[in-house]
Structure 1
Amino acid sequence: MNEALLRELVPAVIGVLVRRGADFAAAEDAVQEALIRALETWQAEPPRDAKGWLVTTAWHKFLDAVRAETARRGRESLVEVRPQTGPATDDSLWLYFLCAHPALSPGSAVALTLRAVGGLTTRQIAAAYLVPEATMAQRISRAKRRITGLPLDRPGDLATVLRVLYLVFNEGYSGELDLAAEAIRLTRQLAAASDDPEISGLLALMLLHHARRTSRIDQAGRLVPLAEQDRSRWDTTLIAEGVTILQTALARDRLGEYQAQAAIAALHADAPTATETDWVQIVEWYDELLLLTDSPVVRLNRAVAVGEADGPRAGLAALADVDPHLPRHNAARAYLRYRAGDLEQAAALYTEASLTATNLPERDHLAREAARIQRLTEIADQC
């Protein structure tokens, strides 16, 4: 059973049903039932025409559901097929934008994208998000209800689609489903269907971050900061691909935020050691990124970069202009205070930051940093 093939066919099959008159929710339900049927009946090799088999089965499932609704017998007229327009890749592209419909919250858009475009089951998505399957099923059902009956000429824009894909990527790995790898797969599909440089920028950013994946956690399951990672474990093949994609996108001279972020990631990947990182150029890219987004998170990251390029005192001065309630603000200030030699204050800030960390690995890392610096403080007091 080629599950990868099934997942690739899902968007096209949903697109066929929608063009035949099914609304999105009904089409998606019918395709999911067809996938279950395929898993039950296909042997080692799929039918000669896998897509045709899925379209036929899903359409029959849809018609069965329509006929079962006796109060809505008039919908039987939906059998009349609309004209086919565009290649199968158009279906995938259209579904990306439909799943990022402005009526949906980001969380709902992510779940719907994984179901409709990724071809994942509700159980797989629930396992990845560490929530009960019933909870995820309700979330997906609500999302489908929200867009059912809405004009299909109001899809989300490209920025929303890319944000949804980046949210999927940032979920990383949990449970049985590798969401980071899934996000890369989906973004590759979108990049193949469109030549927008920002899509390429996002793909490059994902690849460059993913290249460092195995070095982020040590054998004890503890978070390893970028400066301490074993760079020999970085995936040079992914780095080379990401840099090539980024260079091609930048050559289009239509700079966007994902291209700028990818450029920063590429500079980190290019440095043989942490001390050889080109922090001056990284600060320049953060300046470009601020012109594009004016994001508080970018300002915080830029302050840390300034601290590396011009010294911790300069970094603290830049950080003073950032909202102190921003997540990781205390962690950034703790790091810069430590670099400046203010050990006692750094330890206190690391402790405070650990109490508000959003995940266990980060919380553990910050607590360990607080304890380490506190020991240094005690040693210094004894001297």
Structure 2
Amino acid sequence: MDAADVEAVWRIESARIVAALTRFTGDFALAEDAAQEAVAEALMSWPRTPPDSPAGWLMATARRRAIDAIRRRTALKDRYAMLAADPVVDEDIDPDRIDDDILALMFISCHPVLSPEARVALTLRVVAGLSSEQIARAFLVPVPTVQARITRAKKTIAVAGVPFELPPADERRERLGGVLSVIYVIFTEGSTATSGDLLVRRDVAYEAIRLTRTLAALLPDEPEVHGLLALCELTAARFPARTGPDGSPILLEDQDRQRWDFSAIQRGLASLAKASVRGLGPYGLQAAIAAVHASAPTVEATDWDRIVVLYEALGRVAPSPIVELNQAVAVAMASGPAEALVMVDELVASDRLPGSHLVPTVRGELLTRLGRLPEARAELELAARLCTNERERSVLLDKAAALD
């Protein structure tokens, strides 16, 4: 077995191992550190002596490292005595506790005491099993920055005395929103990168889908979990057609819809049906919009009136300027650019999306359709200056140049 085998096992089993160790030790940071030490030892040992049960080997080794660490902490002699007397010494993870353990781990990684950046980094590290280097590449930040976020997050959790347990039932739904928002941030960064020279970071997006599938399996009766999964699947279904061979963006109206992933569309529609049982929430409504696009053979044949209605509903349950901007785009397709431009100008006047390239992008498109080409070019050039993704910027500059 080589390093790739170790990484594959770790990606699959890391959440289960860290979760079980945290329950065993009562110390989140210690559990994560012990698990990482076990991985480092596996990289040295497995090429020479492959284990019969890789996951069991990692669990047993990490458990021994945790006990060794506790032994070194003289102030925790009583805890070590308790652990030493623990009769559970086999290499297997308790199958009756896996679901609750992983769910508790997700809630800890997304705890409200942490900053949004720390929640994302910690979730990708301890739940998804990504290394600091992989997280840094995904979000285009220095490795030391990621490591510092993870270290601060573990210290914050320890200082705050966050217990390794599921929140009480009356708090769980409220806290679940935080977990979903972290996964949503991870997915959106993967589906449309905010910076860099890649439009789509598929590895990041697919990691978010994997996390959402895990959450859906653990909480099958939560509609919004299925709503987020539906949204992710339906959005990812377009990935094969969103970029050309050289990585350049392909706009929705120019995409070859035969290249869309129809298996992902079917999975997304199935998840949307589960989300619809008790009425759609914010993620479910966004998934419903994505489903309208997925079912249309062309942009022209899309049911834009339905999309407008869905955005109106989304604006009521989860109001935001981004929702209003997207609704304006749908209105432009359903009723024409003049009505949509009024909506966008209201956003500009209220300055609710300062510094965003999205508003001048949409405004430039609407002005182009209205024949106001000098104004459109100015807006598209402004959008290009504000855009931090190189691929998107090139598309905006090409559009502006085409208006000469």
Same fold (TM over 0.5): yes
Query: Separation in 2 of the partners of 1:32 and 1:238?
Result: 34
Partner of 1:274, secondary structure, is: coil
Q: Is 2:131 the counterpart of 1:106?
A: no
- Aligned-pair identity (%): 42
CA shift digits 1:173-219 (9 cap, x unpaired)? 77998111111111111111112111111111111111111222223
Q: Is 2:177 the counterpart of 1:151?
A: no
Query: Separation in 1 of the partners of 2:233 and 2:309?
Result: 22
1:38 matched residue in structure 2: 42
1:136 matched residue in structure 2: 146
- 1:356 equivalent among 386, 398, 404: 386
Q: TM-score, normalised by structure 2?
A: 0.85
Query: Separation in 1 of the partners of 2:202 and 2:324?
Result: 33
1:268 matched residue in structure 2: 293
Partner of 2:346, secondary structure, is: coil
Partner of 1:145, secondary structure, is: helix
CA contact (8 A) 1:100 1:109 kept: yes
Q: Is 2:332 the counterpart of 1:321?
A: no
Query: Separation in 2 of the partners of 1:290 and 1:258?
Result: 12
Query: Separation in 1 of the partners of 2:25 and 2:247?
Result: 51
The RMSD of aligned alpha carbons is 2.5
Q: Is 2:245 the counterpart of 1:219?
A: yes
CA shift digits 1:107-150 (9 cap, x unpaired)? 11111011111112222222222333333211211111111142
Aligned residue type for 2:206: A
Q: Is 2:295 the counterpart of 1:291?
A: no
- 2:188 equivalent among 170, 176, 179: 170
Q: Is 2:145 the counterpart of 1:115?
A: no
Partner of 2:137, secondary structure, is: helix
Query: Separation in 1 of the partners of 2:30 and 2:295?
Result: 48
Partner of 2:249, secondary structure, is: coil
Q: Judge which range, 54-63 or 171-180, deviates more.
A: 171-180
Once the two structures are TM-superposed, the CA of residue 51 in structure 1 deviates from its matched residue by 3.7
Cα distance change, pair 276–306 in 1 and its aligned pair in 2 (3 A): same
What is the aligned length? 373
Unaligned runs of 5+ in 1: 376-383
- 1:231 equivalent among 254, 257, 260: 257
CA contact (8 A) 1:334 1:346 kept: yes
CA contact (8 A) 1:19 1:82 kept: no
Aligned residue type for 2:38: A
Query: Separation in 1 of the partners of 2:43 and 2:392?
Result: 40
CA contact (8 A) 2:360 2:383 kept: yes
Q: Is 2:232 the counterpart of 1:206?
A: yes
Q: TM-score, normalised by structure 1?
A: 0.90
Q: Judge which range, 196-205 or 38-47, deviates more.
A: 38-47
CA contact (8 A) 1:97 1:161 kept: yes
Once the two structures are TM-superposed, the CA of residue 36 in structure 1 deviates from its matched residue by 2.1
Query: Separation in 2 of the partners of 1:372 and 1:259?
Result: 38
Query: Separation in 1 of the partners of 2:73 and 2:278?
Result: 54
Once the two structures are TM-superposed, the CA of residue 3 in structure 1 deviates from its matched residue by 3.7
Cα distance change, pair 176–290 in 1 and its aligned pair in 2 (3 A): closer
Unaligned runs of 5+ in 2: 89-93
Aligned residue type for 2:114: L
CA shift digits 1:328-372 (9 cap, x unpaired)? 111111111111221121111111111111311121111111111
